[in-house]
Amino acid sequence: MDTSWQHTTVLLNEAVEALLSNPDGTYIDATFGRGGHSRLILSRLSPRGRLIAFDKDPEAIAEAHSIDDHRFSIRHEGFSHLGELPVASTAGVLLDLGVSSPQIDNPARGFSFRGDGPLDMRMDTTRGQSVSEWLATAEVQQIAEVIRDYGEERFAVQVAKAIVARRQERGAISTTAELAQLVAGAVKTRESGQDPATRTFQALRIFINAELEELQQALAAALEVLQPGGRLVVISFHSLEDRIVKQFIAGHSREVYDRRAPFAAPKAMKLRALDRIKPTAAEIAANPRSRSAIMRVAERVAA
Say whether 282 sits in a helix, a strand or coil: helix
Q: Which residues contact 229 (CB under 8 A, 6 or more apart)?
A: 21, 91, 299, 300, 302
pLDDT at 91: 98
- Please tell me whether residues 194 and 226 are part of one structural domain: no
Residues of the domain holding 230: 12-101+211-300
Q: Last residue of a domain, which of 143, 173, 208?
A: 208
Q: What is the mean pLDDT of residues 276-294?
A: 93
Strand pairing class (72-75; 226-236): unpaired
pLDDT at 194: 80
pLDDT at 1: 40
Here the CATH number for the domain that contains residue 220 is 3.40.50.150
Q: What is the mean pLDDT of residues 39-49?
A: 97
Q: Last residue of a domain, which of 149, 178, 208?
A: 208
In which band, very low, low, confident or very high, does the pLDDT at 4 lie, cut at 50, 70 and 90? Answer: very low
- Please tell me whether residues 93 and 216 are part of one structural domain: yes
- In the chain, how long is the greatest CA-to-CA distance? 66
97 near 241, Cβ under 8 Å? Answer: yes
pLDDT at 258: 57
Strand pairing class (50-54; 226-236): unpaired
**What's the rounded Cα separation, in Å, for the pair 19 and 72?**
16
pLDDT at 280: 95
Instruction: Round the CA-based radius of gyration of the chain to a whole number and report it.
Output: 21
Say whether 300 sits in a helix, a strand or coil: strand
Instruction: Flag whether 265 is in a domain.
Output: yes
pLDDT at 3: 43
pLDDT at 143: 98
State how many domains the chain has. Answer: 2
Instruction: Flag whether 5 is in a domain.
Output: no
Instruction: Flag whether 106 is in a domain.
Output: no
In which band, very low, low, confident or very high, does the pLDDT at 173 lie, cut at 50, 70 and 90? Answer: very high
pLDDT at 219: 97
Q: Check pLDDT > 90 for residue 8.
A: no
| DSSP class of 179 | H
Instruction: Flag whether 2 is in a domain.
Output: no
230 near 92, Cβ under 8 Å? Answer: yes
pLDDT at 249: 96
Question: What are the pLDDT digits (tens) for 45-64?
Answer: 999 999 999 999 998 999 99
Question: What are the pLDDT digits (tens) for 175-223?
Answer: 999 999 999 999 987 777 688 999 999 999 999 999 999 999 999 999 9
Least confident of 106-110, 179-183, 299-303: 106-110
Q: Check pLDDT > 90 for residue 134.
A: yes
Q: What is the mean pLDDT of the chain?
A: 91
**Cα 44 to the center of its chain, rounded Å:** 24
**What's the rounded Cα separation, in Å, for the pair 300 and 230?**
5
- Please tell me whether residues 218 and 197 are part of one structural domain: no
Q: Which of 217, 215, 218, 221 minimizes the C-alpha distance to 237?
A: 215
- Please tell me whether residues 24 and 80 are part of one structural domain: yes
**What's the rounded Cα separation, in Å, for the pair 22 and 34?**
24
Instruction: Flag whether 114 is in a domain.
Output: no
